[in-house]
Structure 1
């Protein structure tokens, strides 16, 4: 079994945040990230970038864990 490091754990958290945001956007037309960080657009953009980078890290994690 593969042991998760801190980056992997953070990646899962950010991807869950992104998934919840997309679910709320689709169901209720409510953007949670913009609601929380709307007054600071740069911070909201950083959150979106972190969600995207985390998704790439999870894809790499899947392939990395299949080799073990």
Structure 2
């Protein structure tokens, strides 16, 4: 899908540049490269540019990151219940880190245990 999006965008840019050359300099680059406006290859390029434009019109309804048929399911990430400024102390967590933090938290109070 990414290749198709890149290819159609490239063709749209080529078409836009060609129309800009026609408008400002009265020069049709595609016709000059392929031998005239009525030549088969020129008509193929014009047709591909037109189809690319139609393709991107449909992408306005469905953004490029989404596929209308296979929409990605939304998954929720891990929720962080911490405070904005610091991590809350979890006394019930038996991991050594939390126990060490708990001991460091109790130390500054000046209380001594028996």
TM range, smaller chain: 0.7 to 0.9
Counterpart Cα distance in 1 of 2:40 and 2:62: 32
Structure 2 runs not aligned, ≥5 long: 67-114
For residues 63 and 6 of structure 1, the distance between their equivalents in structure 2, rounded to whole angstroms, comes to 20
Indicate the residue corresponding to 1:26 in structure 2: 23
Structure 1, residues 1-49: CA drift from partner, whole Å, max 9, x if none? Answer: xxx6111111100000000000000000000000101168100000000
**Uncovered stretches (5+) of structure 1, i.e. residues with no partner:** none
- Counterpart Cα distance in 2 of 1:62 and 1:13: 17
What is the number of residues matched between the two proteins? Answer: 64
State the superposition RMSD in angstroms.
1.8
- Cα distance in structure 1, aligned partners of 2:4 and 2:61: 16
Of residues 51, 57, 60, the one that matches 2:58 is 60
Deviating beyond 3 angstroms after TM superposition, the runs of 4 or more aligned structure 1 residues are: none
Higher helix share: 1
After the TM superposition, which residues 6-17 of structure 1 pair with which residues of structure 2 at under 5 Å, given as runs? Answer: 6-17=3-14
Alpha-carbon distance in structure 1 between the residues aligned to 2:48 and 2:8 = 8
